[in-house]
A and B are shown apart, each in its own frame.
Chain A
Amino acid sequence: MTQARTSLRRRGLVVVAAAVLGVVLLSIALGSKALSLPEVWHGLWTPTGAEGDVIVRSLRLPRTALALVAGCALGVAGALMQGHTRNPIADPVLLGVSAGAGMFVAGGIFLLGVTTLYGYVWFGFAGAFLASAIVYFVGNRTRGGATPVTLALGGAAVHALFTALTAGMLILDEQALELYRFWTVGSVSGRPAEITAQMLPFVVAGLVLAAANARGLNSLSLGEDVARALGVRVGLTRLVGMAAITLLTGVAVAACGPIGFVGLMAAHIARSITGPDYRWVLLYSALVGMALMVAADVLGRLVARPSELPVGIMLAFIGAPVFIYLIRRRKPVRL
Chain B
Amino acid sequence: MKAIRVGPVSAVIRPRHVLVPAVTLVALFAAIVANTGRGEFDIPASDIVGVLLGGGDRTDRLVVLQFRLPRAAVGAMVGAALGLAGAIIQGVGRNPLASPDILGVTAGAGAGAVAVIVLAGEYGAVSGPLAEVGVPLASIGGALAAAVLVYVLAVRRGLSGYRVLLVGVGIQAVLTSLISWLLVKASIVDAGRAIVWLNGSLNAATWENAQAVGIALVVLLPAALVLSFPFGALNFDDDTARGLGVRIDTTRAVLIVIAVLLTATATAAAGPIAFVALACPQLAVRLLGTGTPPLLASALLGAAVTVWADVLGRTAFGAVELPVGVLTAALGAPYLLYLLVRSGKART
Contact = CB atoms under 8 A, between A and B. Distances in A.
Interface stretch (B73-81, B85-93, B164-172): B164-172
Interface in B80-139: 97, 102
A172 B319 CA distance: 10
A141 B346 CA distance: 11
Contact of B97 (A153, A178, A307, A312): A153
A174 B188 contact: yes
**A-side interface size class:** 35 or more
B274 A164 contact: yes
B169 to A, nearest CB: 6
B336 A153 contact: yes
Contact of B322 (A157, A168, A177): A168
Contact of A156 (B153, B169, B330, B334): B169
B251 interface: no
A161 B340 CA distance: 15
Contacts of A13: none
A299 B266 CA distance: 36
A172 B318 CA distance: 12
B345 interface: yes
Given A142-B347, A320-B173, A171 B199 contact: yes
Interface in B310-336: 320, 322-323, 325-326, 329-330, 332-334, 336
B170 A153 contact: no
Interface stretch (B21-29, B178-186, B209-217, B295-303): B178-186
A164 B334 CA distance: 12
Contacts of A216: none
Contact of B177 (A141, A165, A172, A317): A317
A328 interface: yes
A210 B52 CA distance: 64
A177 B191 contact: yes
A146 to B, nearest CB: 8
Contacts of A127: none
A291 B334 CA distance: 37
Contacts of A138: 337, 340-341
Interface in A140-185: 141-143, 147-150, 152-154, 156-158, 160-161, 163-165, 167-168, 171-172, 174, 177-178, 181-182, 184-185
**B-side interface size class:** 35 or more
Given A164-B333, A313-B177, A143 B347 contact: yes
A164 B325 contact: yes
Interface in B20-71: none
B237 to A, nearest CB: 20
A324 B172 CA distance: 11
Interface string A260-286: 110000000000000000000000000
A188 interface: no
Interface string B242-284: 0000000000000000000000000000000011000000000
A327 interface: yes
Contact of B166 (A93, A149, A181, A310): A149
Contacts of A182: 184
B17 interface: no
Nearest to A174: B192
A316 interface: yes
A323 interface: yes
Given A152-B165, A323-B173, A158 B340 contact: no
A247 interface: no
A185 B180 contact: yes
Given A164-B274, A185-B181, A149 B162 contact: yes
B7 interface: no
Nearest to A146: B344
Contacts of A324: 153, 166-167, 170-171
A153 B176 CA distance: 16
Interface centre among B172, B183, B184 (most CB of A within 10 A): B184
Contacts of B330: 161, 164-165, 168
A154 B185 contact: no
A304 to B, nearest CB: 9
A142 B184 contact: no
13 contacts: A142-B343, A152-B165, A153-B97, A157-B334, A167-B326, A168-B322, A168-B326, A171-B199, A177-B195, A323-B173, A324-B166, A324-B171, A327-B167
Lowest 4 CB-CB distances: which A-B pairs, in order?
A142-B344, A164-B329, A161-B333, A316-B177
Interface of A: 89, 93-94, 134, 138, 141-143, 147-150, 152-154, 156-158, 160-161, 163-165, 167-168, 171-172, 174, 177-178, 181-182, 184-185, 260-261, 307, 309-310, 312-313, 316-317, 319-321, 323-324, 327-328
Interface of B: 97, 102, 153-154, 162-163, 165-167, 169-174, 176-178, 180-181, 183-185, 188, 191-192, 195-196, 199, 274-275, 320, 322-323, 325-326, 329-330, 332-334, 336-337, 340-341, 343-345, 347
